[in-house]
Amino acid sequence: MPHSLKSLARGCGAAALTLSMLVLATPGASAEEKMWPILKEQAFGDRYIREDDMVVLETPQKVEDAALVPLTVRIPPWVKGNLKSLTLFIDNNPDPKVATLNFGPAAGAVGERSFSTRVRIDNFSHVRAVLETEDGSLHMATKFLAAAGGCAAMQAKDPEADTAGMGKTIVRTFPPAVDSNPIWSGQVMIKHPNDNGMQLDINTAKFIPAHYVKEVTVKRDGELVFTMDTTFSISTNPNFRFTFAKGEENNLDVSIVDTEGEVFEVHAPPKGS
């Protein structure tokens, strides 16, 4: 990822200010229209991105809670070959990049592959999933979500109580309904406040310092499924569901690192083993 895009993740205020200055510098178009060209150039340079059906983005028709919005990305089974990366964006968030997954060989090369998580939406925005395939081509799906307030929502719990048990991680595996299906599913659930630096402490009325999960690595039988770098656009208590290629044992090993340098690791054998 280019350094210019990484700089957006330094903090809510810095990211918002940087993007605001860039957007205001070009008169005429709306902020929403200007945002994506800036993000695209920072993340992918002048590479061409096709908007086609090689990647499908699923979002709720109505958002009940802007701090907890489910997103699912699917790669249709007719798409063959290894995948290189998947990047999620929310154009109008303080940090527009949600996550980037870099896939390994255990992610699989056939079958319907997918990734799901829950995100915060700060303001009405386009949400984008950009897939890079094995040949280096880029493919994008876009949805618009009418939701706001998810990043700066008041922290309803006592921050100390909310961090109790922090780092507890549950990893699950799910075999396919049909044995011949080469794709299994996995789920990672992390107890973590994922504070983004914009929320107020209900006891002190001061901002809670940013503290969130920044890296996730998943391996199947020792072989890489994906590495993922994430931002504070991921909701409290991160929850990821994903597919991986069937292996010999189908054991999952998960390593999680947060912005304080804490490391949480879990080994999970297949269900029923």
pLDDT in tens, 62-75: 999 988 999 999 99
Q: What is the pTM (predicted TM-score) of this model?
A: 0.85
Strand, coil or helix: what is 43? helix
- Asked if pLDDT for residue 8 goes beyond 50, the answer is no
**Domain locations in the chain?**
3-268
Structure tokens at 120: 């915060």
Identify the residue whose tokens are 């011949």: 180
Q: What's residue 159's pLDDT?
A: 57
Burial letters for 92-128: b for 16+ Cβ neighbours within 10 Å, e otherwise?
bbbbbbbbbbbbbebbbeebebbbbbbbbbbbebbbb
CATH topology of domain 3-268: Immunoglobulin-like (2.60.40)
* Look-up of token digits 């909310």: 162
Given a contact cutoff of 8 angstroms between Cβ atoms, the answer to whether 48 and 138 are in contact is: yes
> What is d(CA 167, CA 164) in angstroms, rounded to the nearest whole number?
9
Specify the pLDDT at position 156: 53
Q: Is the pLDDT confidence value at 15 over 80?
A: no
Does residue 1 surpass a pLDDT of 80? no
Residue 179's nearest CA partner among 109, 242, 115, 250 is: 250
